Amino acid sequence: MLMTVGIWSYFDGVILWTGVGHSLNVSRAGLFGVCILFALLGNVMGKVRRNFYIGVRTPWALANERVWNATHRLAAKTFVLGGLAGLALLAMGVNGWWPLVALLGGALVPAVYSLVFSKQLQRRGEL
């Protein structure tokens, strides 16, 4: 909840900064904030217990505690990596879709992994 309030406060600050006449690339500043949010979310993602509201809520992860835990341990790493990669790309001056691709990769890899891991457990008869 603190991260949600923090990101909205950041966005409000960006809007106010541009509203008083300062020059700022708003799309770049917004993407910077989202990259920071992803990196911070990754720090808590591995500790999220199974629920229907927060986390990587694929049907396979929700159906099995072992798949949920493995998916979220991976998601913790990929969220931090995606957020930091996006920040690095923004710092290097890369414009366009590449920082967004880093974030999307960090979010989609755990979703695909949950299906693959669940299928592996099914084949072995451990589900």
Where in the sequence is the domain holding 48, given as residue range(s)?
A: 2-124
pLDDT tens-digit readout, 93-113: 997 799 999 999 999 999 999
Nearest by Cα to 99 from 82, 112, 77, 111: 82
Residue 70 CA to residue 10 CA, distance in Å, equals 32
Nearest by Cα to 35 from 1, 10, 5: 10
The overall pTM is greater than 0.85: yes
- Cα Rg of the chain, angstroms: 17
Band (pLDDT 50/70/90 cuts) for residue 1 is: confident
pLDDT tens-digit readout, 53-83: 989 999 999 999 999 999 999 999 999 999 9
Q: At what angle do helices 26-45 and 2-19 cross, to 10 degrees?
A: 170
Residue 124 CA to residue 127 CA, distance in Å, equals 8
Contacts for 24 with CB less than 8 Å, ≥ 6 apart: 14, 17, 18
Domain count, the chain: 1
